Amino acid sequence: MKNLFIRGEGLIPRPFGAVKKVLNPSPIPLKNNIPRCSAAGLLIIMFLLNLINLYSTDQIDDFIIYNDEICRLQISWAYPSPLETYEENNYKFTAYSTANYRGFIATWRIDNELMYLDKVEDGNQQEIQLNNIFYNNLVINNSIFAQWFSGFLMIKSSPERVWHESPYSEEPFYVIVYRNIAILEIRNGMVINENQYPEREFWNIANVITRYNSINNNDSFELIYNYLNYINNITPTFPSSNTIQQIYSIDDFDIFLDRNVTRQIRIPLTNYCLIEGATINFSRIGAFISSDLLIDESKYLLVLEMGASNVPLGEWSNYTSGAVQIIIGLDNISVNTSIVLTVNDTDKVKFINNWARYRSEQTIDINIEILNIEDNQIQLKGVIILESFAPYTYQRVELNNLFPIYSISEYLEIKERNRRGTY
């Protein structure tokens, strides 16, 4: 049997709440010889930062205009947005998904060695007027000078798709690598020190600093050393006083992935729809993405997803690791048609069950009936069951719901609106 499954992540609880950081604006001076305890401490810092990124959902970066290029401003559990450090903010942001606990995406700008905030958007990509966050007299020409911020910025630019061979896939996959990194030291909104590095050189220097007791005393090493110490002096508190945790309940959603953990957990689906006039190459291994869509006026695709990183906050939030995606190909959508498919129907079924273990045996059983089609909606009733073995996992989606029907262009437009910030 040829399985269509890639990988699993297991059950990894993640932090719950937005990050509030307390920053130390004064970097620790570089010494020619780093004491052994400091070198060990920096190594622990780098190790812990990697753990943070490994065991929690990646946070969406802010944007920053630097050297006339739209770049990414590193944001994560260990790298707060400068807006999170504005203590006089009375605006309550809403944490809208596990990928953005802070509840906003900001756009910054470095202009003539000064740092400005130009725009803030909420989780629905609606712009928040700066006057609602800052005092009116601080906002000039629809931007604000970031005088409150002192600290360091990591700016990532020159994105490149790097392709890799996968032992679990017949096709290569790519990751986004930012080939240039700039470190800026900011004091009261003014750039007082900066340097740019090729991505590999930056991490090589960071590695030297963390591994050796003595380093060369030069500007490149000193700036990165001070940056690492700055990260060490960030004290996170959960949750942020300026972020509302908008906690949802099962009453707010219609369709769920029921996952058996120590008890049954109901997780809302993040995407479900029917795409008309479309098919895909079901033999291609890997998750379904928009570029897989092929035009075929006689075909339909039923899409169900639990995206793991963009599930609204709720009682299920500690149990969303391990995305699930189910793609079902249909030849017609007549009322009273039954859809009965299994893992053996590889020409009509494609699914990803990342909650299962690597290379585990996995099955899917689909038993759905089309009840009604009206006003660009299709009503479906039935059940989809996902199982894996060694160890055993069980998930199911029960349906008695209306699904929106989209054309390919409508689906792509919606995905583009939701994509927000991908390369």
Which pLDDT score, from 0 to 100, does residue 140 have? 83
Can you give the pLDDT at residue 391?
79
> Given this model, what pLDDT does residue 344 score?
95
In this structure, the answer to whether residues 220 and 274 fall within a common structural domain is no
Q: Is residue 15 part of a domain?
A: no
Asked whether 293 and 361 are in contact (CB, 8 A), the reply is no
Question: Do 212 and 273 belong to one domain?
Answer: no
The parts of the chain modelled with pLDDT lower than 70 are 1-58, 77-78, 90, 96-99, 136-137, 164-174, 210-220, 232-247, 262, 358, 417-423
Tell me, yes or no, whether 217 and 267 share the same domain: no
The reply to whether 361 and 394 lie within a common domain is: yes
308 shares a domain with 226: no
Backbone angles phi, psi at 224, to 5 degrees: -70, -40
Same domain, 389 and 286: yes
Q: Which of 238, 270, 300 is the last residue of a domain?
A: 238
Three-state helix/strand/coil letters over 200-263: HHHHHHHHHHHHCCECCCCHHHHHHHHHHHHHHCCEEECCCCCEEECCECHHHCCCEEEEECCC
Q: Which one of 206, 238, 270 terminates a domain?
A: 238
Of the residues 212, 238, 264, which one is the last residue of a structural domain? 238
The boundaries of the domain holding residue 125 are 20-238
Q: Phi/psi at 104 (nearest 5 deg)?
A: -160, 165
- Asked if 76 and 225 sit in the same domain, the reply is yes
Given a contact cutoff of 8 angstroms between Cβ atoms, the answer to whether 87 and 148 are in contact is: yes
Domain match, 266 and 370 both:
yes
338 in the same domain as 193:
no
CB 398 within 8 A of CB 366: no
What is the tally of structural domains in the chain?
2
DSSP 132: G
11 and 351 in contact (C-beta within 8 Å)? Answer: no
367 and 390 in a single domain? The answer is yes
pLDDT of residue 75: 83
| Chain centre to alpha carbon of residue 113 | 31
Residue 9 lies in a domain: no
Which residues, 6 or more positions from 29, have their beta carbon under 8 angstroms from its beta carbon? Answer: none
Residue 403 placed within a domain: yes
Burial 194-216 (b: 16+ CB within 10 A, else e): bbbbebeebeebbeebbeeeebe
Q: Mind listing the pLDDT tens digit for each residue in 103-139?
A: 888 999 999 999 999 999 887 778 888 888 887 667 8
Same domain, residue pair 256 and 226: no
* Domain shared by 264 and 232, yes or no: no
